[in-house]
Structure 1
Amino acid sequence: MNSKPVLGLQEATQILHAAEAEAAANQWAVAIAVVDDGGHPIALQRVDACAPIGAYIAVEKARTAALGRRESKAYEDMVNGGRSAFLSAPLLTSLEGGVPLIINGQVVGAVGVSGVKADQDAQIARAGATALV
């Protein structure tokens, strides 16, 4: 039987705070989601000035990164490269801003951010992911 690390609420909160600090440092109003390896939400925060849809999109970006075991940007690149079939893939958002959380080579979850430009969302998500190391 295999064993693997499991992302808990304590770690999710740590990731959320690190991502929130990056967003605040840049005065970016965003939603930040942390999900487990199955894409199920553990923590979610939406800054007051962030549009309500940001919370939904942040969760979907995180879910995509967790289930796909790669940054959500990879799917955006595929679509932009002509593979439009990925637009209809279930449980996937082909938008940059979802980053997997990897411990000892195992994906334990992901963080997703929505609310600003795609590369800025990804910057915040990566800041959150580095808190786990």
Structure 2
Amino acid sequence: MNSHTNTLSLEQAHELLAHARQACSLRGFAATIAITDAGGHLRAFERADSAPFLTAEVAIDKAWTAASFGLSTYQWNQYMSDPMVAPLAQHPRLMAVGGGVPIVLDGKLEGGLGVSGGTSAQDHEAAEDALRAFGLLA
């Protein structure tokens, strides 16, 4: 018997994905959006018709990176300048480019949201706006 339950339901993941799609649209770019659970496993995914194919892998890895330590990929980008942390850049899935944010529900890390398709700053802003619209950021 599997006793594990996801706090972030599939319905909630799709709702968050819709908020992210809208945030990207308002910024004028076609995006790929990925949502993972706390273990980094894909929960929801969408690639816009005109989004470049590479954005699919990048969005998934941004979500995975955000879920891995509960830090945004924008923060990871800043940490990479530290020589003690820099070797982590060699990890094949670590994506230290803005656009990945942790999903925290009731103080518990529940996953990651990854957006790819705009600039690093646009991706990061769209991801944060999606969390805000979902009620997870003030």
TM-score normalised by structure 2 residue count: 0.86
Name the residue aligned to 1:98.
100
Name the residue aligned to 1:116.
118
CA RMSD of aligned residues (A): 1.8
Matched residue type, 1:40: H
Name the SS for the 2:80 alignment partner.
Answer: helix
Q: 1:77 to 1:5 in 2, by over 3 A?
A: same
Name the residue aligned to 2:79.
78
Runs of 4+ with deviation above 3 angstroms:
80-83
Pair 1:43 & 2:13 matched: no
Matched residue type, 1:64: T
Note if contact 2:27-2:122 (Cα within 8 Å) is conserved in structure 1: no
Q: CA deviation at 1:16?
A: 0.4
Distance across 1 between alignment mates of 2:135 and 2:61: 20
Q: CA deviation at 1:8?
A: 1.3
Query: Which whole-Å deviations, capped at 9, do the CAs of 1:42-81 have from their partners, x for residues lacking one?
Result: 1111111110110110000000000111111121112245
Distance across 1 between alignment mates of 2:99 and 2:41: 17
Pair 1:25 & 2:26 matched: yes
Distance across 1 between alignment mates of 2:97 and 2:60: 12
Note if contact 2:37-2:111 (Cα within 8 Å) is conserved in structure 1: yes
Aligned-residue sequence identity (percent) comes to 28
